[in-house]
Structure 1
Amino acid sequence: MGAPITQDDLDIVRDCERALLTGAVRGDRLSAGLLLHPEYREFGKSGRVWDKESVLDLMEDTSELVQIRAEDLETVPLGDDVVLVTYDSVTPQARAHRSSLWVRESGRWQVRFHQGTAVPAA
């Protein structure tokens, strides 16, 4: 069994999730790569399935265009060493519901799974 989740853990995961939305982290393959689990998988709002390398390539290519805001971000412990993050991502072009599953391995938090679901325009 892992360690119980503390408020400090929830704050760290929240900060890490927000960091992945910034151009500074997205444009730095090493920094972004440290936050993504080796077996990272994403179901994008487009329906495309991403792995760690493909999402790092995308982040690197589009980091200068990033204008992503997280609204209503919540963190929920799901068990020892596992946190669910949910929020809406908002860009000038679109809004999406987002969820990320973060795991703590070897003392470090990494996102293991992420999903985006497009929100239809009003």
Structure 2
Amino acid sequence: MATSTTGMPTQDDCDIVRDCELALLTGAVRGDRASAVLLLHEDFHEFGASGVVWDRESILDMMEEEAADGRVDIKAEDLVTSALGPGVVLVTYDSVTPTRRAHRSSVWVRERGRWQVRHHQGTVVADRASGPTA
């Protein structure tokens, strides 16, 4: 893995993080705790689109249950990665499921040579027919 001389994430790093983020949206990874745990930082937390605040263990439980029930149908649209600083990448996108759309952002950090998501945020997008709200 190439590293820039400034320690800033390279395009290769951003591509790896993008692939990791997309993997977390699949039933294969969500249903395989051993795979998912490799991608979630030990201090992971999420402010979910549902309003629930998740920690690493609770999100692992939820993803495993969701995959076991066959409810994983998540698409990512307009995904963008941005290097924020040495060892830090921001991912933004819209998640689309059969029942809702949400703006998403994830902060990925590289520790001990591995990219892991440290923080995730979801915000439900209002129904376009109802118009904007403040």
TM-score w.r.t. the length of structure 2 is 0.88
Please tell me whether residue 80 in structure 1 is matched to residue 99 in structure 2: no
Count of aligned residue pairs for this structure pair: 121
Equivalent in the alignment of 1:113: 119
| Letter in structure 1 aligned against 2:126 | P
Equivalent in the alignment of 2:72: 66
| Letter in structure 2 aligned against 1:90 | V
Query: Residues 11-90 of structure 1 correspond to what in structure 2 (within 5 A)?
Result: 11-63=15-67, 64-90=70-96
| Letter in structure 2 aligned against 1:4 | M
Shift of 1:4: 2.1
Shift of 1:3: 2.4
| Letter in structure 2 aligned against 1:44 | G
Query: Residues 1-16 of structure 1 correspond to what in structure 2 (within 5 A)?
Result: 3-16=7-20
Structure 1: give runs of 5+ residues left out of the alignment: none
Larger of the two Rg values belongs to structure: 2
**RMSD of aligned Cα (Å):** 0.9
> 2:122, 2:11 → 1: CA distance?
25
TM-score w.r.t. the length of structure 1 is 0.97
